[in-house]
Chains A and B, each alone.
Chain A
Amino acid sequence: AQSVSQHNHHVILSEAASLELGCNYSYGGTVNLFWYVQYPGQHLQLLLKYFSGDPLVKGIKGFEAEFIKSKFSFNLRKPSVQWSDTAEYFCAVIPYGNNRLAFGKGNQVVVIP
């Protein structure tokens, strides 16, 4: 079964700092990739997704992610975070044609004003 690894479970940043969250997966075939965000007390919302094409994907709220196939990675970035970006971020992977979405364990990000 595929697995998804997210490192640095807890991240604390000051406003305006840059954010990068790593995501690596173990599946060798074609995959669809997602980053979801969960704000405090809320359900998961999609930040961005990669299905095919340009490996640099832009999402909502200034987030972007880069798919590097050779590294089995899909890292999330934001150049300048805001206090409102405080949330938990989950990377998720589903092999193309598969029914089972696998999630990483999440990154808890706290942005200090």
Chain B
Amino acid sequence: NAGVTQTPKFQVLKTGQSMTLQCAQDMNHEYMSWYRQDPGMGLRLIHYSVGAGITDQGEVPNGYNVSRSTTEDFPLRLLSAAPSQTSVYFCASSYSPGQGRNEQFFGPGTRLTVL
């Protein structure tokens, strides 16, 4: 199993550009989520999904969109990048919470810089 994969590893954008961060998992996990990591802030939840076709907002959703058309994929879209979105982005997946097996597995991260 590849686990959770993310592309790209690094990205530089100009203010106002759009892009999609890709995330895929091959563990048949129902639950997937996106976090951003900033120094001294820990990890903050952006959006999450409990299954294909179902998404919900996390702690810091503004400026980001998600969709979940398949169990495997959970892309994160930045519609108009801003310098405040400079961060490291992590995707994670797990079995559904409440089943007692909801350890989250993390991808390697995408380091995004917005100029």
Interface residues of B (CB under 8 A from A): 31, 33, 35, 40-45, 48, 50, 56, 58-59, 90, 92, 97-98, 100, 102-109
Contact = CB atoms under 8 A, between A and B. Distances in A.
A43 B41 CA distance: 16
Contacts of B43: 44, 90, 103
Interface residues of A, number: 29
* Candidate in B41, B56, B92, B97 with the most chain A CB atoms within 10 angstroms: B97
A98 interface: yes
A99 B42 contact: no
A51 B45 contact: no
A104 B106 CA distance: 16
B48 A100 contact: yes
Contacts of A96: 97-98
Given A103-B42, A105-B42, A97 B97 contact: yes
Interface of A: 1, 4, 6, 9, 32, 34, 36, 42-46, 49, 51-52, 90, 92, 94, 96-106
Contact of B90 (A1, A44, A104): A44
* Candidate in A51, A98, A99 with the most chain B CB atoms within 10 angstroms: A99
